[in-house]
């Protein structure tokens, strides 16, 4: 190299560095979506509120009709399936004065085969003496007894599916359904009453 000549030396980046520089404060996206903080808790609270609302509605449907003198009757067998199932509650009203029975009506009648108990069956006919012939929808034949119209205890008005199933199981020595429903309701209450949580700057949930 002669005197007076200026030599320029090019500095090259180490291998693997080329094209990797990004402006400060910007990070490459990993392509993975993150769940917003607090969303799982919000969904759980929503489900809990829905459960409590459903339970409240069922209780209201089975209790409020009593204001009009209607009576809830638990269905204890499958003799009326598929119209009524074991564990359903049929809300009935007393027959009005001068009531005229109609074939197809669901009625509550005394059960002479089990004194003190009743059956909820459908009127399948009326014999020549004006007595009611009843039958369960799932049965292949009419009931062996006849019922006078003035002996009818109630006429079906409303149906509330499944609300008495846990209670029936409990009475028959199988508390599993009752315990499961109780735990579900208590869990829903706990979730609803649990203090709401908010996201903190570091992404963790914190109590409000």
Higher pLDDT, 78 or 12: 78
Q: What is the structure's pLDDT at 105?
A: 97
Helix or strand run (H / E) with residue 156: strand 154-160
- CATH number for the domain harbouring residue 82: 2.10.109.10
Q: Does residue 206 lie in a domain region?
A: no
Q: Does residue 180 lie in a domain region?
A: yes
pLDDT digits (tens, 9 = 90+) for 65-102: 667 778 889 999 999 999 999 999 999 999 998 899 99
Under 8 Å between Cβ of 154 and 71: yes
* Mean pLDDT of the chain, nearest integer: 76
22-26, 91-95, 99-103, 107-111: the lowest-pLDDT one: 22-26
Q: Does residue 144 lie in a domain region?
A: yes
Q: Is 103 exposed, middle or buried (0-12, 13-18, 19+ CB in 10 A)?
A: exposed
pLDDT average, residue stretch 165-181:
70
CA-closest candidate to residue 134, choices 110, 161, 98, 160: 110
* Helix residue ranges, H only, 97-164: none
d(CA 133, CA 121): 10
Q: What is the structure's pLDDT at 124?
A: 97
Q: Does residue 159 lie in a domain region?
A: yes
Q: Count of domains in the chain?
A: 1
The residue range of the domain holding 52 is: 39-193
Q: Does residue 26 lie in a domain region?
A: no
Q: Does residue 157 lie in a domain region?
A: yes
Q: Does residue 64 lie in a domain region?
A: yes
d(CA 144, CA 114): 13
Higher pLDDT, 130 or 15: 130
pLDDT digits (tens, 9 = 90+) for 35-69: 566 666 677 767 777 766 666 666 666 566 667 77
Q: What is the structure's pLDDT at 7?
A: 45
CA-closest candidate to residue 96, choices 160, 159, 158, 157: 157
Q: Does residue 137 lie in a domain region?
A: yes
């Amino acid at each position: 190299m002669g005197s007076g000549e200026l030599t320029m030396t090019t500095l090259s980046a180490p291998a693997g560095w080329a094209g990797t520089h990004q402006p400060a404060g910007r990070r490459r996206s990993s392509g993975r979506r993150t769940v917003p903080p607090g969303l799982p808790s919000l969904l759980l609270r929503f489900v809990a509120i829905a459960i409590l609302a459903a339970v409240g509605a069922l209780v209201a449907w089975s209790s409020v009709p009593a204001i009009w003198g209607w009576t809830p009757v638990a269905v204890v067998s499958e003799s009326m399936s598929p119209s009524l199932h074991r564990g359903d509650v049929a809300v009935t009203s007393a027959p009005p004065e001068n009531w005229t029975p109609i074939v197809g009506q669901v009625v509550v009648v005394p059960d002479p085969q089990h004194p003190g108990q009743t059956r909820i069956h459908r009127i399948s006919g009326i014999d020549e003496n004006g007595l009611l012939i009843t039958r369960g929808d799932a049965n292949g034949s009419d009931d062996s007894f006849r019922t006078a119209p003035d002996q009818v205890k109630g006429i079906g008005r409303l149906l509330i599916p499944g609300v008495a199933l846990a209670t029936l199981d409990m009475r028959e020595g199988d508390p599993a359904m009752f315990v499961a429903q109780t735990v579900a309701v208590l869990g829903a209450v706990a979730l609803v009453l649990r203090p709401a949580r908010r996201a903190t700057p570091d992404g963790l949930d914190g109590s409000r």
